[in-house]
Amino acid sequence: MFDTTAISGVSGPGTSQQKRLPPEQLELVAKLEARDREVRTHEAAHMSAAGALAVGGPQFSYEMGPDGKAYAIGGEVKISYSPGQTPEETLARAEQMRAAADAPCEPSGQDLSVAARAAAMEDQARRQILQEHQKRPAIANVVHLQALTPG
């Protein structure tokens, strides 16, 4: 797992530099800290649900606060959209993609778009699986009856 503190360089509230900031800048720092936590939690939910489909770690966009620290204000987790080698594998991958997109408590518009794309991939895989099952010959239960001859 990754160390979020090392990524952002964000330290806890009440540092000595923050104590020297005017109240309006302290308020901005508090908002940036809250946004940073929200973004990191959101992206961590994606990472956790994406599992092996995640391509690398989360990527963040930052804003420099009046205290000289960088705060995450946006982020993304890239996931692989490649289908599986079989329709069943594609279905499993698409289900995991949708779960990763829907993982945060408040999915973004982009998250909803990814979830819709994954749902379409799931539907297509299900149709392929159904078609394959329909092509297979039905296995009939054959019962052999022996004629009883009077004896």
Helix (H), strand (E), coil (C) string for 60-88: EEEEECCCCCEEEEEEECCECCCCCCCHH
pLDDT reported for residue 109: 95
Q: For tokens 């940036």, what's the residue?
A: 32
pLDDT reported for residue 135: 82
Cα(108)–Cα(101) distance, integer angstroms: 9
**Cross-strand partners of 74:** 61
Cα(58)–Cα(64) distance, integer angstroms: 19
Cα(96)–Cα(121) distance, integer angstroms: 11
Q: Which residues contact 56 (CB under 8 A, 6 or more apart)?
A: 78
Per-residue pLDDT of the chain (151 residues; tens, 9 = 90+): 333 222 223 334 445 555 689 999 999 999 999 999 999 999 999 999 999 999 999 999 999 999 999 999 999 999 998 999 999 999 999 999 999 999 999 999 999 999 999 999 999 999 999 998 888 765 555 555 555 656 5
pLDDT reported for residue 71: 98
Cα(102)–Cα(119) distance, integer angstroms: 11
The vertex-41 CA angle with 69 and 11, nearest 5°, equals 25
